[in-house]
Structure 1
Amino acid sequence: MNKVQLPASDVKITPITFGAWAIGGWFWGGAEEKESVKAIEAAITNGMTTIDTAPVYGFGQSEEFVGEAIKGKRSKVELLTKFGLVWDRKSGHIHYEKTFDNQGNEVSLYRLGSKESVIRECEDCLRRLGTDYIDLFQQHWPDSSTPVEETMEALEILKDQGKIRAGGVSNYSMNEMEKAEKYFTLSSNQVPYSMVNRGIEDEVVPYCIANDKAIIAYSPLQRGLLTGKITAGYKFAEGDHRPTTPFFKEPNLSRINTFLDKIKPIADAKQATLAQLALNWTINQPGITCALAGARNEKQVLENLKAAELNISDEEFTFIRNELDQLVLEI
């Protein structure tokens, strides 16, 4: 898989990146370590060498699984992780009240981007990942309780110390990016983007194209919905948060599955899955640098890798876009 340059850095990443949220277990109904580690190892072996994780994905579990999987392979991989969502201390910006960690303990999440906290989080990430540097360190969500210049100063310090190679943000609006950019040269913005969730096309995409910023698309399969496997009556594991989100509720679920039925012949003609078609569509949209593809096991990794090899014609892209323009969701 040919790598792409991350702006304002010498980091190169794969256009389809291993998304490690699901292996954290939290919000996904649990995860098993042996299968998770094998999945990451399979990704690296087969050329998907970029891995995106975060402390909050399983309250350290995802980063620890990644750290285990990359032992002896650090020079072969690009590690992307995050900061700014904490559960062991409080701030004035609560993010998610009363959830449960992987041990069943009740916790609340807070957004915190203070200089002291960012530097502390970086050290914790380095320890869990078993490395002495992070390729891309991203603020997970904007924090209204901390001046953005303070957060960006922390990134500058960490970059000067060689503990991070590049800094970015996640879930930032165009205006928030503009403000942060006054204090630090951002490499990227990681934002939700999929066939059925295209809100960033209005402002974020044009801004990033004009200002040479990478867009890392997360949830390109809309948390598994665009695989076509989730239909009415689908049984989710205990603790899986997806059925409470708007895309998985009616009438959206049925409307999205009707759309998938219309584009399935394109996938079938290429002996591909709907998931592979959706991933390929995503990485070929204007401004998109890479898409995060989650996987719980080796089989899913190999399926995701094949997505980059699909050859979708202009006529097929136009057909998909026309069908999407007619898709009305209640979000």
Structure 2
Amino acid sequence: QRLQTDYIDLYYLHWPRTGRDMRPWMEGLETARQQGKIAAIGVSNFSVSQMQALAQVGQIDAYQLGYNLLWRFSERDVLPYCAEHHIAVVAYSALAHGILAGKYARQLDFVPADQRWTITLFKESVWPHVYETVDNFKTIARQGNYDLVHLALRWLLRRPAVKSVLVSAKNRTQLLANYAALTVDIPDAILDDLTVISDRAMQVIPDEGNPFGYHP
């Protein structure tokens, strides 16, 4: 009623619970779809085996996952599965918690209680590699007179599996910068250079399941 609509365009199942059968939830969403209350069903942060289980009782239309130049583990299994089953991919954490906006110094100064310490890319053993990688991205940006945010978002938008990208903005300036990434012209050769740098980083960044290291 508050949204002034009688149906939901896309309804997500977020964060599957370890050891819990999610098929009853999927069955409920399929019932809602048949009743016209839901147009499409999505899942977020599910593994391939978890999606296969849901596919026994319903149709997954969209998959939302953390995906960016510093976090590409889904390319091994999840993205191929989505492509094979015609599941639209929606990428969150497109700028890797602001890292790909170049906002952090070499020496992180978070207070001890800051939740960012639990994020894989900020961990003490990982951050030096991440910082060096972003510094290399910055070099490409400077050489071509590009905005680092534009490079990161255009790279993501060019990935064949990605249908939509989620980005946040704290103010109008950030909003306009994000929007400009849709129209800026960046040659494929530049984006390929980013991929090469990213490939090297992915050899040392540990796969903890998702960018947050969160396993409910």
TM range (shorter): 0.7 to 0.9
Partner amino acid for 1:160?
Answer: Q
For residue 122 of structure 2, the aligned residue among 231, 248, 254 is 248
Q: What stretches of structure 1 of length at least 5 have no aligned partner?
A: 1-125
Aligned to 2:97: 223
Judge conservation of contact 1:215–1:288 (CA < 8 Å) in 2: yes
Moved more, 145-154 or 206-215: 145-154
Measured after TM superposition, the shift of residue 130 of structure 1 is 5.7
In 2, distance between residues paired with 1:162 and 1:241?
Answer: 40
In 1, distance between residues paired with 2:138 and 2:183?
Answer: 17
**Residue 190 of structure 2 is aligned to residue 316 of structure 1:** yes
Measured after TM superposition, the shift of residue 247 of structure 1 is 0.6
Judge conservation of contact 2:151–2:191 (CA < 8 Å) in 1: no
Q: What stretches of structure 2 of length at least 5 have no aligned partner?
A: 207-216
Identity %: 34
- In the TM superposition, 1:20-99 aligns within 5 A as none
Moved more, 229-238 or 138-147: 229-238
Q: Give the structure with the higher percent strand.
A: 1
In 1, distance between residues paired with 2:83 and 2:120?
Answer: 29
In 2, distance between residues paired with 1:255 and 1:294?
Answer: 25
Judge conservation of contact 1:140–1:171 (CA < 8 Å) in 2: yes
Aligned to 1:294: 168
- CA gap of 1:151–1:274, structure 2 versus 1, over 3 A, is same
Aligned to 1:205: 79
Moved more, 148-157 or 204-213: 148-157
Aligned to 2:211: none
In 2, distance between residues paired with 1:255 and 1:290?
Answer: 28
For residue 187 of structure 1, the aligned residue among 61, 67, 71 is 61
Task: Give the alignment's Cα RMSD to 1 decimal.
Answer: 2.4
Measured after TM superposition, the shift of residue 131 of structure 1 is 4.3
Aligned to 2:70, the other structure's residue is in SS state coil
Measured after TM superposition, the shift of residue 222 of structure 1 is 1.0
Partner amino acid for 1:256?
Answer: V
- CA gap of 1:325–1:144, structure 2 versus 1, over 3 A, is closer
For residue 170 of structure 1, the aligned residue among 40, 44, 59 is 44
Measured after TM superposition, the shift of residue 146 of structure 1 is 4.8
Partner amino acid for 1:214?
Answer: A
Measured after TM superposition, the shift of residue 143 of structure 1 is 3.3
In 2, distance between residues paired with 1:140 and 1:298?
Answer: 29
Partner amino acid for 2:142?
Answer: D
In 1, distance between residues paired with 2:106 and 2:134?
Answer: 14
For residue 329 of structure 1, the aligned residue among 204, 208, 215 is 204
**Residue 21 of structure 2 is aligned to residue 147 of structure 1:** yes
Judge conservation of contact 2:106–2:131 (CA < 8 Å) in 1: no
In 1, distance between residues paired with 2:6 and 2:172?
Answer: 27
1:172-230 superposed Cα distances (whole Å, 9 cap, x missing partner) = 11121122112111111111111111110001111111111111111111111111111
In 1, distance between residues paired with 2:5 and 2:26?
Answer: 22
Judge conservation of contact 1:193–1:217 (CA < 8 Å) in 2: yes
Aligned to 1:281: 155
